Amino acid sequence: MWKNNLSLPHNGSPDDNFSMRLILPHLRGTTTSSYFDSVPSFACGFFCAGPAASCDAYIFSIFFVYAFSMEDVLHLQSPQVVWSANRDRPVRENATVQLTGLGDLVLYDADGTMVWSTNTANKFVVGMNLTEYGNLVLLDHTNAEVWRSFDHPTDSLVIGQMLQVGQKLMASSSEANWATGKVYLTVLPDGMYAFAGVDTPLPYYRSPVYGSVLTNFSAYIALKNGSLEVFTSFRVTEVPDYRIQLPIDYYGLEFVRLDWNGHLRLYQWENNSWVSSDVLDITDPCSYPLACGEYSVCSDGQCSCPDAVLRQSGLFELIDSRELNRGCFLTNSLSCGTAQNARFLSLPNTTHFNIIYNWTTNEEHCKLSCFNDCSCKAAFFLHTDTSSGFCFLASDIFSMISVDAQSYSKNLSSYAFVKVQEHKAGLSKERIAILLVKIDQQMDLIDPRSTDMKLHLDEVFRMMNLAMWCLQVDSNQRPFMSMVVKTLEGSMDVETELDLDLVNIDLMVANRAARWNEATLQIESVLSGPR
């Protein structure tokens, strides 16, 4: 049994942005004292993506890791996970992995809950091994393989691994969320395909077709050192029907991963770091289903929220203003119970990465069908003439694509109608806080779970009242800084005769946001000007 704690070999720096505990290392070069004499190798164990000091969401996984020893201290760097058992159910500190007496490899969370199993009980398993190729295998007494991780891929293929009919590489939900997402790569009897969507999967890539859809159930793809090969027709033994050439690596330090946005990327170890490049021959960056994340519009590789495209605001927000390709989210989420408050945001000259138009109808009927369907998040309509066209209802929302209006004739245009929730004016958090003070209900502002606040209520109330004093509309009624300091020290009482009809806090917050946006838009010449 292996327990997920510091008793296992682990990375020692609390400043690392990951936490790793090794169970079966297959490492090379860990006895050297030189930083540059080691190259990444495979290992399996517990891995957590996040600050090492606070990580507590681990996956049992196989990973490349750059390991080296320096002054008898093991250093682990540059990990890349290539397989995981429990990506949708992370475990905590002190979780365990156990090879039971019945031959089942089982992952238990810290509270004893079973999270994952190989389901190999009573199959005469007597041992476990991690091969030099990154394949975790369970063996019987004759050394025959009973179970292997290569047969249960997640989002990656390593050299020597195959993906067969019925198997999928499932991308993660996002760059920060490793749970199973909506994009996958698979092999069908007639070739390799990449799909996006859960309810209605739509292909955004397929390799050249050679096999027979009706008869070929032995098709597969294989990653080799220097190529990704697709086998479908088997007209010539050991000769692929389609080959994507890749760089050859002397150590075999490369793998392909289907990333969260739909890109299939080759990862290679170069100059002591991992570098990646696209594998699929998709030339238009906007053609990937999550090129700009969910709800975002892609135009020549640039990403914008739908309301920003129309020079509006308030309906959507960026998930991360520093990384625009992470996508957008609705400021007022949709729900079936409030469908009567929904409306459509109309985006002209906007389409989808791939559309299977459901039927021919008119624009209004297309929109009405989406409005009456709780699962529909957007309707896409392609005009064929002034009165009719093709309609597609999307229940999975991906990136949208802005197309050149010049590419359409006068009577052939594309629209996206995105369902949004009508905004209802409400009270801001700041306004609610002030109202609670005005009606003498400050206790409602205190976290009931905070023992520390409950033990120091007098100080908490003093801080609240001091804040009200500092927010007086009449600046002459506000305290000097010296008075604030004395109040905090307890040598002076807070003024009790306060005017609680304060400045419009909502306007103040809006102005603050506007000033922030203005500040973030300063051009380089302004920022580098004289001080």
* Strand extents, DSSP E, 71-208: 73-84, 96-99, 105-108, 114-117, 125-130, 136-140, 145-148, 156-158, 162-164, 168-172, 180-188, 191-196, 202-206
Question: Which range is least confidently modeled, 164-178, 242-256, 286-300, 510-524?
Answer: 510-524
Label the pairing between strands 297-299 and 400-402.
parallel
CA angle centred on 131, ends 126 and 133, rounded to 5°: 155
**CB 355 within 8 Å of CB 368:** no
User: Are 170 and 85 in the same domain?
Assistant: no
10 Å Cβ neighbour count for 186? 19
User: Are 314 and 389 in the same domain?
Assistant: yes
- Residue 195: half-sphere exposure toward Cβ, Cα within 13 Å: 19
In this structure, what token pair is assigned to residue 4?
A: 């997920």
Domain membership flag for residue 528: no
Domain membership flag for residue 247: yes
Euclidean distance between CA atoms 316 and 492, whole angstroms: 47
CA dihedral 28, 30, 34, 37 (to 10 degrees): 0
User: Are 299 and 410 in the same domain?
Assistant: yes
User: Are 318 and 222 in the same domain?
Assistant: no
CATH number at residue 159: 2.90.10.10
Tell me the per-residue pLDDT of 335-348, one tens digit each, with 9 for 90 and over.
776 656 789 999 99
Domain membership flag for residue 337: yes
Q: What are phi and psi of 421, to 5 degrees?
A: -90, 135
User: Are 387 and 342 in the same domain?
Assistant: yes
When pLDDT is cut at 50, 70 and 90, the band that residue 236 belongs to is: low
User: Are 258 and 299 in the same domain?
Assistant: no
Euclidean distance between CA atoms 60 and 48, whole angstroms: 9
User: Are 444 and 403 in the same domain?
Assistant: no
User: Nearest Cα to 55, choosing from 105, 97, 6, 96?
Assistant: 6
**CB 130 within 8 Å of CB 136:** yes
Answer yes or no: is pLDDT of 143 > 90: yes
Share of the chain above pLDDT 90, in %: 50
For residue 228, the model assigns a pLDDT of 96
DSSP 28-91: SSTT-S-TTS---EEEEEEEEES-TTT---BEEEEEEEEEEEETTEEEEEEEEEEEES-TTS-B
In this structure, what token pair is assigned to residue 220?
A: 């597969």
Higher pLDDT, 121 or 510: 121
Label the pairing between strands 180-188 and 136-140.
unpaired
User: Are 273 and 384 in the same domain?
Assistant: no
Cα dist from 247 to 221, 227, 242, whole Å: 17, 7, 16
Domain membership flag for residue 512: no
When pLDDT is cut at 50, 70 and 90, the band that residue 75 belongs to is: confident
User: Are 413 and 299 in the same domain?
Assistant: yes
User: Are 161 and 123 in the same domain?
Assistant: no
Domain that holds residue 161: 153-278
Whole-model pTM: value is 0.75
User: Nearest Cα to 60, choosing from 44, 40, 49, 76?
Assistant: 44
Burial class (CB in 10 A: 0-12, 13-18, 19+), 171: buried
Question: Which range is least confidently modeled, 26-40, 259-273, 471-485, 508-522?
Answer: 508-522
For residue 517, the model assigns a pLDDT of 44
Domain membership flag for residue 133: no
Total tally of structural domains belonging to the chain:
4
User: Are 57 and 171 in the same domain?
Assistant: no
**CB 128 within 8 Å of CB 105:** yes
Paired strand residues for 98: 106
Domain membership flag for residue 531: no
Chain position carrying tokens 């050297």: 32
Domain membership flag for residue 239: yes
Domain membership flag for residue 143: no
User: Are 255 and 309 in the same domain?
Assistant: no
When pLDDT is cut at 50, 70 and 90, the band that residue 235 belongs to is: low
* Domain end residue (candidates: 362, 389, 421): 421
